[in-house]
Structure 1
Amino acid sequence: MNPWLMILIAWFSMAIVMSLLWGFQRRTNDAGIVDVAWGMGVGLLALFFAWGSTDGDLTRRIIIATLSLVWAIRLSAYILWRVFTMPEDGRYQSLKKDWGAVAQLKLFWFFQFQAIGSLLFALPMLIAARGKSSLGIFDLLGICIWLIAIIGELIADWQLARFRAKSENQGQVCQEGLWKYSRHPNYFFEWLHWWAYVCLAVTAPWGWVTILGPLLMLHFILNVTGIPPTEAQALKSRGDAYREYQRTTSAFFPWRPKLEKVAV
């Protein structure tokens, strides 16, 4: 199938899905469903791109579709569990408060922006799926990166969920396991995961373009929808305890924590 036609179909489909989900969130009063749809949208678009790229190597297409879907199902299932078991994400509560009377209108366009985001982040899978060469060392490296990233994100999510499940930790800052070395290890491994598709696309036409995937994801995490609103909410709910956590712990890349100040 022509890649431009696939891109057009993908955008149109995601725009419809996000419009329907915008209406759904008006009834539930929980905009967090957009995060579920964004991740699952990327996985389903990757499956569509792998199916439609009939001129690409079949084994490569199967691997890309499988990796993308497993990633999407894991991420979306975890976020969906949070949507149904926890209050609305503080980021969306703050946005609605700031936007006031026009909140729903702005949320509609926010959902449409997420539709475009799903398409943009699925494009590396389209490029990789069109590669004609058989699997090589870079493909194996990509699969290894994917495994490390998924396992790391699973561990980070599990450690945070276990910490929050204990009543005595309510209002406290999680500094256990991976969270001792990074304030956002889940974001770090999510970013690392996108390098897998860069490796899988190395031999494909225009494969170098896929490096924009992890670079764009890094920008969103560090400057837009990731760390800034998450930490703003954490400072509101945890105050000085989180400020101390910011002082001693790396924001993104895992690193040894800074030593506590020694009183003189």
Structure 2
Amino acid sequence: MGGNLKNALIAVVAPLPSILFYTSFLHHYPAGDHHHHHHHLSPIWSWCYHHPLLLANALFFFNVNVLFWIISLIQSSNWMIDVYWTVIPVLLVHYFQSHPRSEFNSWRSTVVVVLTWVWAIRLTHNYFRREKWQWGAREDWRFTDMARQYGKNWWWISFFAVYLIQQVFLIGVCIPLYIVHTVNQPLNIWDITATIVCITGIICAHFADTQLHTFVTKNEKLKEVGKPMVATLDEGLWYYSRHPNYFGEQLWWWGVAIFGWNLGCTWGFVGALVNSLCLAYVTILVERKMLKQEYRVEAYKMYQKRTSVLIPWFKLSTNQVPKEKGT
């Protein structure tokens, strides 16, 4: 219990440097104060005013990359970035909205902020449900694998492989949230489209993750009583897609990108695209992991052949499945 409470406390205190720095900046530059030229202000506040996106990156760099990394070295675990993956977009959207240089349509801004909160609450709930409501009991298995791979160099490689890369990702996918708060245009059909895509993504990911959680919990109980475990999850959304949770998550980010694209920011899609490519790689890792578990190899290979990898689609019937030599 002590460790759990300590980690919860660390997680709550960790973002405070950025929040305190930013609130003192807002104190010098009230929001909506576009015509206020403070000649007597220190160059640092002036810089913060003129470079909202660079400031977001600077805060991320020092507060997440450097500070979280130092905490991870002390704790020998990179668990905190997982919790913050769901929190940082919320912090960013409020930062973009409250920055003194922001300009936006208040309806669009409200929709985007609410959607980001709904997305974050869903993902955070799923994270804690999966971790059995513990803070930092373990880190992401991919980091553990990398730590094994890099051995005694991991302490410095982790700075780039865990933290710096997350900055590129998170700021990248959140660029449309910044665009929404720099352009003031009336709502149009694309805003409705983006909203529908975002909501569909959230709902799809929620049901997929819940079905996965039920499946994993059931298997844990079977294992406890010494019964054979169920090899593959092949019902609900998982009947139509091998990774419906990733599909929902990607749909969410593409929906966010449409908000930015609608306001003239074509390169807002870059973040969503990179995120999709990254999830494609994770998909490969997850499937390799599945095929290493003896009790599910055969069933999973069959499942792979018959089921769409990402986009939910109908099953290939058994006679459409390409036969292996020698069968």
Class of the TM-score when normalised by the shorter of the 2 chains: 0.7 to 0.9
Distance 1:144 1:196 in 2: 8
Q: Which of structures 1 and 2 has the bigger CA Rg?
A: 2
Distance 1:116 1:80, change over 3 A: farther
The answer to whether the Cα contact below 8 Å between 2:96 and 2:102 also exists between their aligned partners in 1 is no
Match of 2:316 among 253, 258, 264: 258
Aligned equivalent of 1:69? 117
Distance 2:104 2:138 in 1: 44
Deviation at residue 27 of structure 1 after TM alignment = 4.9
Aligned equivalent of 2:12? none
Distance 1:239 1:55 in 2: 54
Aligned equivalent of 1:129? 181
Aligned equivalent of 2:285? 229
Letter of the aligned partner of 1:227 in structure 2?
T
Pair 1:195 & 2:247 matched: no
Please say which of residues 51-60 and 146-155 is displaced more in the overlay.
Answer: 51-60
The answer to whether the Cα contact below 8 Å between 1:18 and 1:34 also exists between their aligned partners in 2 is no
Aligned equivalent of 1:49? 96
Identical columns (%):
27
CA deviation map 1:185-231 (0-9, x unaligned): 01111111122223323442x322222232222211113xx212222
The answer to whether the Cα contact below 8 Å between 2:176 and 2:259 also exists between their aligned partners in 1 is no
Letter of the aligned partner of 2:173 in structure 1?
F
Aligned equivalent of 2:29? none
Structure 2 unaligned regions, length at least 5:
1-33, 35-47, 223-227
Deviation at residue 36 of structure 1 after TM alignment = 2.3
The answer to whether the Cα contact below 8 Å between 1:192 and 1:214 also exists between their aligned partners in 2 is no
Deviation at residue 119 of structure 1 after TM alignment = 1.2
Secondary structure of 1:252's counterpart equals coil
Distance 1:36 1:18, change over 3 A: farther
Query: RCO (CA 8 Å, sep 6+): is it higher in 1 or 2?
Result: 1
Pair 1:165 & 2:217 matched: yes
Alignment of 1:235-250 (within 5 A): 235-237=291-293, 238-250=296-308
Secondary structure of 2:51's counterpart equals helix
Pair 1:120 & 2:166 matched: no
Letter of the aligned partner of 1:36 in structure 2?
V
Aligned equivalent of 1:6? 52
Letter of the aligned partner of 1:46 in structure 2?
V
Pair 1:92 & 2:140 matched: no
Distance 1:170 1:32 in 2: 28
Distance 1:65 1:4, change over 3 A: farther
TM-score by length of 1: 0.87
Pair 1:24 & 2:75 matched: no
**RMSD of aligned alpha carbons:** 2.7
Letter of the aligned partner of 1:107 in structure 2?
S
